[in-house]
């Protein structure tokens, strides 16, 4: 990522905000130094996720099959067997023998949403092919489930 600023036109706060956003550090214009990754007031979750970014992810996916799968993964964080997710998705979609190929097509929506959100976020989950598990950080899972519930109740 490249950023530039013009000291004659850009305010100090806007420049600092841009630099901090580029490096994934929360910004406060109240004069306090930002917490360096992981402080109590730090709104960043693992993978550079924030509540607003998770909210965008939820809105992007809305009521898709990818959202159903992601909810299941989050509910079973930090790890769930791929086969358990396939079984859940098979029951949800009515597709017999739901497999990785069927899953991959649906989960690609999460990758597209992540790319659209930007900000250097990683995937909200990892696929561990060696252990045949989906893995999601518990903090990300908790925040994601809260955002999904808020969206559903809005």
Average pLDDT, integer, range 114-139: 95
Residue 32's pLDDT is: 43
Kindly report, residue by residue over 46-86, the tens digit of the pLDDT.
Answer: 999 999 999 999 999 998 999 999 999 999 999 999 999 99
* Whether residue 53 sits in one domain with residue 39: no
* Whether residue 32 sits in one domain with residue 22: yes
| Domain span holding position 11 | 1-44
Query: Is-contact 57 106, C-beta < 8 A?
Result: no
Distance, CA of 124 to CA of 99 (rounded, Å): 21
Residue 142's pLDDT is: 97
Assigned token pair, 144 = 């994601």
Domain count, the chain: 2
Instruction: Tell whether pTM > 0.75.
Output: no
Residue 10's pLDDT is: 66
């Amino acid at each position: 990522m490249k950023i530039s600023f013009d000291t004659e036109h850009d305010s100090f706060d806007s420049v600092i905000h841009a630099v901090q956003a580029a490096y994934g550090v929360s910004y406060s214009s109240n004069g306090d130094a930002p917490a360096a990754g992981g402080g109590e007031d730090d709104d960043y979750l693992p993978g550079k996720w924030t509540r607003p970014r998770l909210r965008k992810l939820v809105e992007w996916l809305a009521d898709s099959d990818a959202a159903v799968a992601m909810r299941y993964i989050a509910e079973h964080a930090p790890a769930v067997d791929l086969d358990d997710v396939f079984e859940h998705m098979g029951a949800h979609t009515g597709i017999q023998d739901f497999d990785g190929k069927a899953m991959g097509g649906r989960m690609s929506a999460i990758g597209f949403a992540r790319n659209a959100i930007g900000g250097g976020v990683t995937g909200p989950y990892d696929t561990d092919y060696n252990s045949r598990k989906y893995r999601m950080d518990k903090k990300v899972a908790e925040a994601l489930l809260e955002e999904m519930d808020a969206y559903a109740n809005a």
